[in-house]
Amino acid sequence: TSFGDYGEYFESIDSQKIPTGHIVALVGDKIRKANSQDQQCLGVVSKTAGIILGGSGFCWQGRFLRGEFGILTQEIPDPKWKPKDGQTEEDRPLITVEVENPNYNPEQEYVERAKRPEWHIVGLLGQVHVRIDKTVLVGCYIKSNDDGIGTRDETEQGWYVMKITTPYDEEKGYGVAM
C-alpha cells in the first residue's frame, strides 16, 4: 500500500458516515460534505494517510483533565519506590502523572474512533484521492460541487490535479483524481 497524505480524525456533524474521497468542510470542530458555497475546504476523507493524528486509540479522549495547552499533570510520591539502606520517606522521589478526570469510568468499554462510523480520517496534506465529476482534467484545479465531489475550478484557486487514477464513470457518478 502506498501512503500519500497526512490525516487527522474528525467527527461528522450528523454522526453519519461520509464515503471516502469526498471533500469536507468544517462546521465548528466537526465535518460535513463540502458544497459549492464553501470558501475553504478542510480536506478529503482518506484511506491513504500514512500519519494519522487524533485517533484516541487506547482510551476515552477525556480521561485526563486538560488546561489551556493540554493534559494537566501533577507530581506525586513514586508508589514503586523501595528505600535502600539509610533512606527515609523524605528521600522518596516524585513522579509526574496525568490528572485523571473524575468523570472517567474505567468500567465502561471504550470503542476507538477507527471503529466508529461517525469518525473519519481527513487527508489534510499530500497526495489525496478525490472523487471528481466529468469536468476534471489533469492539470486543472478543483473545488467542491454541492455533494463534496471535485469539480473544475475555472478560477484556478482550488486544488491542483496531478493525475486521474480512475476515469469518470457515468454509472458510478464519479471518477478519482490525485
Tell me the catalytic residues. Answer: 8
Closest to 10 (Cα-Cα) out of 2, 25, 144: 25
Which DSSP string corresponds to 106-141? TTSPP--GGG-TTEEEEEEEE---EEE-TT--TT-E
The Cα 159–Cα 20 span in angstroms is 17
Q: What nine digits make up the cell of 23?
A: 471533500
How far is C-alpha 21 from the chain's CA centre? 14
The DSSP code for 4 is -
Specify whether the CB–CB gap between 20 and 47 falls below 8 A: yes
